[in-house]
Chains A and B, each alone.
Chain A
Amino acid sequence: MKVSVAAEKCVAAGQCVLLAPAVFDQREEDGVVVLLDETPAPELGDAVRESAMVCPAAAIHLAES
């Protein structure tokens, strides 16, 4: 799985960080998403997929391998 984020769409809700803190973080100043790991380990797959589904800005994109 390869993860990409559209930072210009991010609304800083932080839902992804709550679900998958090993993969996503937020910038200190404005809360915009920071991608920590663009090829997360398989065991993180479900949490990352859930992050993409609930992201209120549809700013997380997944390419399943």
Chain B
Amino acid sequence: MNRIVVVGASAGGLATAEALRRAGFAGVITLVGDEPELPYDRPPLSKQLLSGEWEPGDLELRSATDLDALKLELRLGVRATSLDTSRRRVLLADDTEVSYDAVVVATGVRARRLPGTDGVAGVHTLRTLPDALALKERLRPGRRLVIVGAGFVGAEVAASVRALGADVTVLESGPVALGAAVGEAAGRYLTGLHDEHGVRVRTGAAVTAIAQAAGRVTGVELADGTVIPADEVLVAVGSAPNTEWLAGSGLTVHNGLVCDQYCAAAPGVYGVGDVARWENPLFGTTMRVEHRTNAAEQGLAVARTLLDPAARRPFAPVPYFWSDQYGIRFQSYGHLRDHDEALVLDAAGHRLLVAYRKDDRLVGVLAAGGTPKTLRAWRALIAAATPWTAAITSTAA
């Protein structure tokens, strides 16, 4: 193993490269990324960057000095266009190619757009640093921002820009925010937070079109005929994995790059981060996790497997995510999606504690407004695949 190519230079790709070096890999590591910036962190984009608390420089994942020390062959600002698994080469948009002994696919996801909105001024998505800066530049007190989608990105942006004095409306197609993901009670809690802070939430709002005049957005049209006037619109309706460049590679793509429990997609090909759909044996299901913590953990796991395949172990993490909205921190462990039951254990004041059951076991927990340390006990129960009744009983005690 002399040449490892990591495609994707965000949290997952960088973690893989760093872990390879720290574990003593002395061969060539090429880190390819389509963005020109040095690797930066995305979670603060919708929080500290937008609120003005941090400058772009505060987002760097590693200092230039620390990056230099990793001795990476950096190919930033150039997109990978295809993968030739038989010749073991990655083709890049500048018509060069890079050969590999192993390749790590860490190309992440991109924000979904609404059809017919490309090129309409004032319609934003939020995934990259330029996205966040473009949105920030347009927001000032009194400006009307309409956010399509009340998921975590939409909610965090609403909270950040509300603090700047913008006039914010959030449109959600479901009956509550994030109902399918976190359950109705948690969704109501999230929706309620917006209300408390003067952000209007319209649930059951089906967006049919973006109203525009002279190439600039003027509002958002709903199925019931209402037009919500807007100076700026943020489309926050989820994301799509960046797998198009893998077409023709022979790899299986199905809502992400399909990998086994070792994160391998084929011999010498591994998936890391938001783009990877792998089989997590702890939950007995495939999952694709779009959370920051998983990207780093998966990068580390893949680096280890690459350097010592005989000692490889299934990647079986308890996924973790956090979200900051209106000064309240949400934290979650586990796999909440596809739960059979969401049991509210605490909903006093601004506290929230919800446990999630799938079949007869505890699979996740979501908390807000509490003491983060106490959640570690829940994490241990999830990691141990604790039966539901036992988990609920032990934590109530």
A32 to B320, CA, bound (A): 16
Taking chain A's interface residues, is the majority helix, strand, or loop, or is none over half, making it mixed?
loop
Judge whether B300 and A30 touch: CB under 8 Å: no
Binds A, one of B180-188, B348-356, B369-377: B369-377
In the complex where A11-B43, A13-B293, A13-B320 touch, is A53 in contact with B19 (Cβ < 8 A)?
yes
Chain A residue at smallest Cβ distance from B22: A49
Flag whether A12 is at the interface (Cβ < 8 A).
yes
In the complex where A12-B372, A14-B372, A31-B371 touch, is A58 in contact with B22 (Cβ < 8 A)?
no
Judge whether A29 and B371 touch: CB under 8 Å: yes
Contact partners of A28 in chain B: CB under 8 A = 371, 373
Contact partners of B61 in chain A: CB under 8 A = 58
Q: How far is the CB of A48 from chain B (nearest CB, A)?
A: 11
Chain A window 21-65, contacts with chain B (Cβ cutoff 8 Å), 1 for yes, 0 for no: 000001011110000000000000000011001111110000000
Judge whether B329 and A56 touch: CB under 8 Å: no
Contact partners of B375 in chain A: CB under 8 A = 14
**How many B residues, CB 8 Å from partner?**
27
Chain B window 307-339, contacts with chain A (Cβ cutoff 8 Å), 1 for yes, 0 for no: 000000000000010101000010100000000
Judge whether B41 and A54 touch: CB under 8 Å: no
Contact partners of A29 in chain B: CB under 8 A = 371
Flag whether A7 is at the interface (Cβ < 8 A).
no
Contact partners of A11 in chain B: CB under 8 A = 43, 322, 324, 329
Q: How far is the CB of B14 from chain A (nearest CB, A)?
A: 9
Chain A residue at smallest Cβ distance from B375: A14
Chain B residues with CB under 8 Å of chain A are: 11, 15, 18-19, 22, 41, 43, 58, 61-62, 292-293, 296-297, 299-300, 320, 322, 324, 329, 331, 371-373, 375-376, 379
Given A11-B324, A15-B320, A30-B371, 17 other A-B residues pairs in contact with their CB atoms under 8 A:
A11-B322, A11-B329, A12-B331, A14-B372, A14-B373, A15-B293, A49-B22, A50-B300, A53-B19, A56-B43, A56-B293, A56-B296, A57-B41, A57-B43, A58-B41, A58-B61, A58-B62
9 contacts between A and B (CB under 8 A): A26-B372, A28-B373, A54-B296, A54-B300, A56-B320, A57-B43, A58-B41, A58-B61, A58-B62
